[in-house]
Amino acid sequence: MARLFTMKSRWALALFVLLDTICVGAGMGVPFFPILFGFVAGWYAVQRLAAAGTELPRMLEKIFSYALLTSAYTFVVLAAIWGPTARMLFDPAADLASFGIPQILYEPRASFIGWLVLMIVISPFLQLLTTLFGAHVTLQWHLRRNPSGT
């Protein structure tokens, strides 16, 4: 297990990219699994930084930058998946009601816009929050076991 936490940063990033892409694919473009994967990414970030002996203030900075990186990658993937469908908003012949998304706003165009905002903007933000939450819960657990902060 120690080998997992001490691997090179590029390998860890490549592993994250692979697993996050699988998570997006498992949800067929709906980022439910990448949001949940944020908990694992946060846990891993703390374990990796703790294994390297990073001091607490620097660890908090790194955790936030890792969380931003994970959500930025998910944002790029989701923008690539859902971004091209935004052209349907400007097509008067597009049948937005039959596109297959939930019509929760009682108007197909408004529901479609809401769906795109949810998929492209809000979901990566939720992944950011779950990554930070998972990291901070793990950090609290780690600090209780090792009060010196390293």
**Does some domain include residue 137?**
yes
Provide the token pair at 6. Answer: 């001490």
| Burial environment of residue 58 by CB neighbours within 10 A (0 to 12, 13 to 18, 19 or more) | exposed
pLDDT digits (tens, 9 = 90+) for 100-140: 888 888 888 999 999 999 999 999 999 999 999 999 999 99
**Does some domain include residue 150?**
no
Report whether 111 contacts 101 (CB < 8 A). Answer: yes
Going by pLDDT thresholds of 50, 70 and 90, the confidence category of residue 149 is low
DSSP state at residue 71:
H
Going by pLDDT thresholds of 50, 70 and 90, the confidence category of residue 41 is very high
Specify the number of domains making up the chain.
Answer: 1
In angstroms, the CA 111 to CA 24 distance is 22
